[in-house]
Amino acid sequence: EAGVTQSPTHLIKTRGQQATLRCSPISGHTSVYWYQQALGLGLQFLLWYDEGEERNRGNFPPRFSGRQFPNYSSELNVNALELEDSALYLCASTLTLVSGNTIYFGEGSWLTVV
């Protein structure tokens, strides 16, 4: 069974541009999470989607947005890129809205803003 898959693996963008990152959850998982991990730092919660709805949002500006599609895949959009947006973006998925389920992570997408 495939795990959480993310694309692209690496992405280089120029300041001011937009970046789109994609995530496919484990089959059967309806919840998708996005986290940002800047170099050498911990994971910061970005967004949580479940059944196509945004359920929770971390402390990030509105230029960070996303959506979840009917097949439960998700994309993260970052507009007006800034240098400090350079980070590893991790997607994770889990079963249902019920808390207490194991949350599985993908390998991440490295975003570099130059």
Partner 1 sequence: SQQGEEDPQALSIQEGENATMNCSYKTSINNLQWYRQNSGRGLVHLILIRSNEREKHSGRLRVTLDTSKKSSSLLITASRAADTASYFCATGLIQGAQKLVFGQGTRLTINP
Cα(49)–Cα(67) distance, integer angstroms: 7
Instruction: By CB under 8 A, name the one of 92, 93, 111, 113 that touches partner 1.
Output: 92
Instruction: By CB under 8 A, name the one of 21, 24, 31, 36 that touches partner 1.
Output: 31
**Site for partner 1 contains 99 (CB under 8 A):** yes
CA angle 57/110/53 to nearest 5° reads: 25
Q: Which is nearer to partner 1, 97 or 114 (CB)?
A: 97
Stretch that binds partner 1, among 17-25, 61-69, 74-82, 96-104 (CB under 8 A): 96-104
- DSSP labels, 38-95: -TTS--EEEEEEETTEEEEE-S--TTEEEEE-TTS-EEEEE-S--GGG-EEEEEEEES
Q: How many CA atoms lie within 13 A of 46 on its CB side?
A: 27
For residues 43-72, which are near partner 1 according to CB under 8 A?
43, 45, 48, 55-56, 58
Residues that bind partner 1 (CB under 8 A): 4, 6, 31, 33, 35, 41-43, 45, 48, 55-56, 58, 88, 90, 92, 97, 99-100, 102-108, 110
